[in-house]
Amino acid sequence: MFKRALLSAISLLLVSITLVGCSSSSNGSYQGILSVNGEKYFLRGEMKDAEFTLGEKLGKVQKKVNPKINPNEHLSSNYLEIGEEIYTSNEDSEVLIVKRENGELEIMVNESYYNIEEGN
């Protein structure tokens, strides 16, 4: 009985160490957020196959905050670089297109976008 309890305790200790080690060694993964006129837009990813077209230019990113921080100021982001251009999408009012410094286009969606997609 003692051996069984000891083995259980050692197993539990090893699992705990493994879980703590994995979580602390991670650099973390933070959601890319852009704040525009009090609305939050979340990174969806790189635009593929011209799924959206550039609309009106809203401006450029004015402030970059720490990735752990939720940006609140107009045209601030915890992901995008200062000076990157923000455009509306001609196809969807809930979608913004970001022209990155390297020329790539990325999609950012309003926080309500996924609720609309699901029909909620």
Indicate the average pLDDT of the chain: 81
Is the pLDDT assigned to residue 73 strictly greater than 90? yes
Closest to 114 in 3D by CA, of 39, 42, 20: 42
Greater model confidence, 6 or 32: 32
Which residues face 89 on adjacent strands? 54
Taking only the tens place, the pLDDT of each residue in 87-111 is: 999 999 999 999 999 999 999 999 8
DSSP three-state, residue 24: helix
What does the pLDDT read at residue 13? 42
Report which of residues 1 and 84 the model is more confident about.
84
What distance in Å separates the CA atoms of residue 113 and residue 25, rounded to the nearest whole number? 33
Question: What DSSP string runs through 44-67?
Answer: EEE--TT-S-EEEEEEE--EE--T
Per-residue confidence (pLDDT) for residue 50, from 0 to 100 = 85
pLDDT value, residue 6 = 43
C-alpha 109/C-alpha 44 separation (Å) is 7
Q: What span, in angstroms and rounded, lies between the C-alpha atoms of 59 and 88? A: 10
